[in-house]
Amino acid sequence: MPALVFLHSLLGLFLLVAVPALALVGLWGFWRPLPGRFYRVLRGTAWVAILQVVLGFALLWAGLRPKDGLHLLYGLLLAVGLHYLGGLEPGGWFYRGLKDPPRRPEVFVALGLLFALGLVLRVYFTGR
């Protein structure tokens, strides 16, 4: 059990650093297309967030509860949001699935990452 708590905390610290860095780099999306490696890093970060959520629910089922129940909701929203933002790469799974894909998905990715920045801060402060 302590190993799961440690891993959950470690992944949380990774997300606390990675999401603001992605949001900062993603701001370039307002002016020019984002490179493919940016989307790869974004998708990798999304998978870290998904693993974080799975660990969080495993800890919940083991009887460990966060200080505030909204911590679970914010974490779930962050993981889902990052997953969908990673799929907005031109040619990506979510981009192809849209009926009318945007001409400049980078703008939506930049805005979504600013929202994710707020979510990662809320996740951190409601879980302490």
pLDDT tens string 20-79 = 999 999 999 999 999 999 999 999 999 999 999 999 999 999 998 888 889 999 999 999
Give the C-alpha separation, 82 to 43, whole Å.
7
Task: Supply the mean pLDDT for the chain.
Answer: 94
User: Averaged over 4-30, what is the pLDDT?
Assistant: 95
For the cut 80, the answer to whether the pLDDT of residue 128 exceeds it is no
pLDDT for position 59: 94
| pLDDT recorded at residue 65 | 87
pLDDT of residue 73: 94
Question: What pLDDT is stored for residue 16 in this prediction?
Answer: 96
DSSP label at residue 29: G
DSSP-assigned letter for residue 64:
-
For helices 36-61 and 70-86, angle between their N-to-C axes, nearest 10 degrees: 150
Q: Given a cut of 80, is residue 1 above it in pLDDT?
A: no
47-55 contacts: CB < 8 A, separation 24 or more?
48/11, 48/14, 48/15, 48/18, 49/15, 49/75, 49/78, 49/79, 49/82, 49/83, 50/79, 50/83, 51/11, 52/8, 52/11, 52/12, 52/15, 52/79, 53/79, 55/4, 55/7, 55/8, 55/11
